[in-house]
Amino acid sequence: MPTPPSSPPAAPRPPVTGTAPSQAELRSRLHGLPGVDAVGLEQRAAGLATRSIKTTAKAYALDLAISMVDLTTLEGSDTAGKVRALCAKAARPDPGDPTTPHTAAVCVYPDLAATAKEALAAAGAPQVEVAAVATAFPSGRASLRVKIADAEDAVAAGADEVDMVIDRGAFLSGDYLKVHEEIRAVKEACAAGPGAGARLKVIFENAELATYDNIRRASWLAMEAGADFIKTSTGKVGGAATLPATLLMLEAVRGYHAATGTRVGVKPAGGIRAAKDALRYLVVVNETAGPEWLTPDWFRFGASGLLGDLLMQRHKLATGAYSGAAYVTVD
């Protein structure tokens, strides 16, 4: 049984320094990216989705997927108790099977980040990271001052990772510079955290960007502004993560790495509930960005329900019998 990698987590990129690009420069660069043919992209994703992952490959992939989960709760009704339960599950997803890997992170609102940090330490899993959503998540509709304060709060509370949302309104109205500068500013706030600072995940809300061309532009914009991860969605809007959009973002990080030598991670979030779907994403990572991205350092699943199905499939593989919801802990 392969074990997921246990190397120390990747450090955040340093913030982008120097003067800001001009609006015109940004625009011409982003609009100069090759177009995306939607049908071709979707057919490539559908083709990869037919890969058949069986036996040893499946065992490996299930554990890898578990280790990539950002176990998430982002509800108005979240409480300290709820977050502690989530952390316990992240630390030991399957109490009955200690070979089960822990998840990559828990993902909460900033005001619960400190609780999560303590709970994970208490559960003996300080290596599980705490990710906090920030910048007026999920809409991003607040002043830059408020967004920065939100991120600073998260970092101060001990968040290892900050999941920010971009200003989709600014993006769609063509104000790429505003989006760029907000990402840069939040990245700086992240860098102010303990040690090397927090890693920054930049959420596009693909469903609102609407076109693949926009997603490709947003990917390059975020990477150039200093993102450590690019993330599909908040999970709060319909049509969250999709396989083709993730494939496209993986092409972008591959291209950015080839061009700059800097590796950026990808996080699909929202709507991935079945282990079978998670395996398809891993195939897409493997055959698009490449095996280098197949670690929790560079690929994550933002999910809450997915973990349960991954565990049930793990049982099935281990025992040969189909599992049931009663055999998997609820959050």
Shortest distance in whole angstroms from residue 46 CB to other proteins: 9
> What is the spatial distance between Cα 308 and Cα 86, in angstroms, rounded to a whole number?
12
Between 25 and 37, whose beta carbon lies closer to other proteins?
Answer: 37
Catalytic-role residue among 231, 277, 297, 309: 231
* Annotation says 267 is catalytic: yes
- Tell which residue, 201, 241, 248, has the closest CA to residue 225: 201
User: Scanning the structure block, which residue is given the tokens 């469903």?
Assistant: 207
81's enclosing H/E stretch is helix 80-91
Catalytic-role residue among 89, 147, 201, 267: 267
Between 6 and 173, whose beta carbon lies closer to other proteins?
Answer: 6
Q: In the complex, which residues of this chain contact other proteins (CB under 8 A)?
A: 2, 5, 34-44, 50-58, 60-61, 64, 210-213, 248, 251, 282-283, 286-287, 291, 294
Catalytic-role residue among 94, 150, 160, 163: 163
> What is the spatial distance between Cα 68 and Cα 300, in angstroms, rounded to a whole number?
5
Shortest distance in whole angstroms from residue 198 CB to other proteins: 26
Nearest-Å Rg of the Cα atoms of the chain is: 19
Between 58 and 117, whose beta carbon lies closer to other proteins?
Answer: 58
Shortest distance in whole angstroms from residue 277 CB to other proteins: 16
Shortest distance in whole angstroms from residue 94 CB to other proteins: 21
Is the four-CA dihedral 33, 37, 38, 44 of positive or negative sign?
negative
Q: What is the DSSP letter of 327?
A: G
Between 153 and 277, whose beta carbon lies closer to other proteins?
Answer: 277
Q: Could you tell me the two tokens for 273?
A: 């509930």
* Annotation says 163 is catalytic: yes
Question: How far, in Å, are 218, 252, 331 from residue 203 at the CA level?
Answer: 10, 15, 24
Catalytic machinery residues:
163, 231, 267
